[in-house]
């Protein structure tokens, strides 16, 4: 047993060192991977808009929105994968790990085949419901149908990246992501320069999906050579374990989709595709800014699951408080800077004519700050087998988002949807913090003063 008190698993593929060392390595790896993907987005977004136009960019962004709804079809199994695989790995139980891996893979494969067929068959109906304009309708059917089908088939192989994360090898996961973005960049430039438009982007996405699945399958086999995807490992017990935990978080997934994807669907329906494009640009920057500080705690779930499995509650509390301080020290100044410099940043990045995107970014910054600040708490809650706390807070956020957006979209358009989303993103975390601190036995007021006092003061002075 190492000096940090956490037993080392006997499964292969885990880098040497204690649990804390692995957590640090994974966090650094996630930082590198996240910054790389942000850089890729900064290059691709203005280039794609300049080549296909704002309307087609808005149509392309709807694929991302709709994949969130398709992803709900796994009933939370994907969410349960990392936790259960990490627990079986921590206990060195290869048989249970193979059962969970094979059972989940079989279910995801079946769902992927059905969802792909449904996406292709229903693409025309979806395009009409979203109000895709007549000149883009034929292109919209093709892009939405095949885009969703590609996602569904790629998601069928979610086992492989989940296994890499469960083995706490985010360094390997991020290397794969970085490597795959190179052909993505090259392919995007080639197809758009050839004038292939959205059809070309779809072809690039297909190639990227195949490369990601192949690379993660190779990594999973390297980390766990005893992986056996055989029908004999399909187990009702494993399915019940996965679905039992997954269903607890399914409401969270539904709520997150409603919270973060409803905005552009409403704008497509009640405004136009150009407005969707403007909103997508501002929303994407706010989301990226929110995700950056969360990289600090992105490797926590498998580590916290180990601590929970071994009953080390005090170490969990210490992990939560330290992580919250790091989040506050990085997240608060970052989101204040995003709000203050949104207009010059968007102008320098996208050029003139995107003032609406900058305004949307400023409005969403406050809501995404609140959402970011409770990100660590939700991971600790999941590790403690209390996903119900997140379920209730996410449901509150989703209901508020939909209701307020429906009220404000007609009179205020994209600005109204941004205001509604930001207000809702504050409500859910407030509820979660109150419930979670009662569970953890940590006084909320004193905790906030210790973790957030100085960052709040510094950010207020800077503003």
The pLDDT of residue 251: 78
Rg from Cα positions in the chain: 22
- Tokens 């408080």, located at residue: 321
Running along the chain, 463 residues long, what does each successive block of 10 average in pLDDT? 37 51 75 87 94 94 83 73 82 87 88 89 90 88 90 84 84 91 96 95 94 93 89 88 78 85 92 94 92 76 73 80 84 90 96 95 93 85 80 91 95 96 94 88 82 70 60
The pLDDT of residue 460: 62
Q: Name which of 446, 440, 448 is nearest 313 in CA terms.
A: 440
Q: Are 300 and 323 in contact (CB under 8 A)?
A: yes
Instruction: Annotate 327-352 with b (16+ C-beta within 10 A) or e (fewer).
Output: bbbbbbbbbbbbbeebeeebeeebee
**Which two structure tokens, joined as six digits, stand for 99?**
């059962």
Q: Are 280 and 264 in contact (CB under 8 A)?
A: yes
Residue 86 CA neighbour count, 13 Å, CB half: 27
DSSP label of 7: P
**Cβ neighbours, 10 Å, residue 232:** 9
Q: Name which of 23, 18, 37 is nearest 319 in CA terms.
A: 23
Q: Name which of 72, 48, 71, 76 is nearest 61 in CA terms.
A: 48
Q: Are 103 and 145 in contact (CB under 8 A)?
A: no
Q: Name which of 146, 180, 417 is nearest 280 in CA terms.
A: 417
SS3 428: helix
The model's pTM? 0.81
- Tokens 């320098």, located at residue: 348
Q: Are 199 and 142 in contact (CB under 8 A)?
A: yes
The pLDDT of residue 2: 36
Q: Taking CA 80 as the corner, what is the angle to CA 113 and CA 308, rounded to the nearest 5 degrees? A: 170
* Residues 6 or more apart in contact with residue 154 via CB below 8 angstroms: 112, 209, 212, 213
**Cβ neighbours, 10 Å, residue 282:** 24
Q: Name which of 294, 283, 229, 259 is nearest 400 in CA terms.
A: 259
């Amino acid at each position: 047993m190492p000096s940090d008190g956490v037993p080392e698993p006997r499964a292969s593929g885990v880098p040497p060192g204690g649990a804390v060392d692995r957590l640090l390595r994974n966090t650094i790896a996630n930082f590198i991977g996240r910054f790389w993907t942000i850089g890729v987005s900064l290059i691709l977004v203005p280039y794609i808009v300049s080549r296909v136009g704002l309307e087609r960019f808005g149509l392309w962004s709807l694929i991302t929105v709709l994949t969130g709804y398709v992803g709900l079809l796994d009933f939370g199994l994907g969410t349960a994968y990392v936790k259960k695989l990490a627990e079986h790995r921590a206990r060195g139980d290869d048989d249970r790990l193979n059962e969970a891996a094979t059972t989940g893979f079989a279910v995801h494969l079946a769902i992927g085949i059905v969802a792909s067929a449904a996406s292709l068959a229903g693409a025309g109906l979806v395009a009409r419901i979203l109000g895709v304009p007549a000149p883009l309708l034929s292109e919209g059917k093709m892009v939405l149908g095949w885009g969703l089908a590609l996602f569904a088939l790629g998601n069928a192989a979610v086992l492989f990246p989940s296994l890499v994360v469960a083995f706490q090898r985010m360094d390997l996961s991020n290397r794969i992501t970085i490597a795959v973005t190179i052909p993505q960049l090259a392919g995007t430039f080639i197809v758009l320069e050839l004038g292939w438009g959205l059809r070309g982007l779809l072809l690039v996405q297909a190639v990227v999906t195949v490369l990601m699945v192949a690379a993660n399958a190779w990594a999973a086999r390297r980390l766990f050579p005893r992986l056996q995807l055989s029908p004999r490992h399909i187990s009702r017990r494993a399915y019940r374990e996965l679905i039992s935990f997954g269903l607890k978080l399914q409401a969270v997934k539904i709520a997150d989709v409603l919270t973060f994807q409803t905005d552009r669907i409403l704008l497509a329906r009640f405004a136009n595709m150009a407005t969707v494009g403007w909103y997508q640009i501002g929303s994407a920057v706010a989301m990226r800014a929110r995700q950056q500080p969360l990289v600090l705690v992105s490797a926590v779930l498998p580590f916290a699951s180990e601590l929970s499995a071994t009953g080390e509650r005090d170490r969990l509390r210490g992990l939560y408080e330290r992580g919250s301080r790091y989040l506050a020290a990085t997240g608060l100044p970052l989101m204040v800077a995003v709000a203050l410099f949104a207009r010059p940043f968007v102008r320098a990045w996208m050029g003139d004519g995107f003032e609406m995107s900058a305004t949307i970014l400023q409005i969403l910054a406050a809501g995404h700050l609140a959402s970011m600040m409770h990100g660590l708490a939700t991971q600790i809650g999941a590790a403690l087998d209390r996903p119900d706390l997140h379920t209730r807070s996410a449901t509150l956020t989703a209901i508020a988002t939909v209701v307020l957006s429906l009220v404000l979209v007609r009179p205020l358009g994209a600005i109204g949807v941004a205001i509604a989303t930001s207000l809702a993103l504050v409500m859910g975390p407030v509820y979660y913090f109150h419930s979670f601190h009662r569970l953890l036995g940590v006084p909320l007021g004193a905790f906030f003063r210790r973790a957030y006092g100085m960052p709040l003061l510094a950010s207020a002075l800077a503003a």
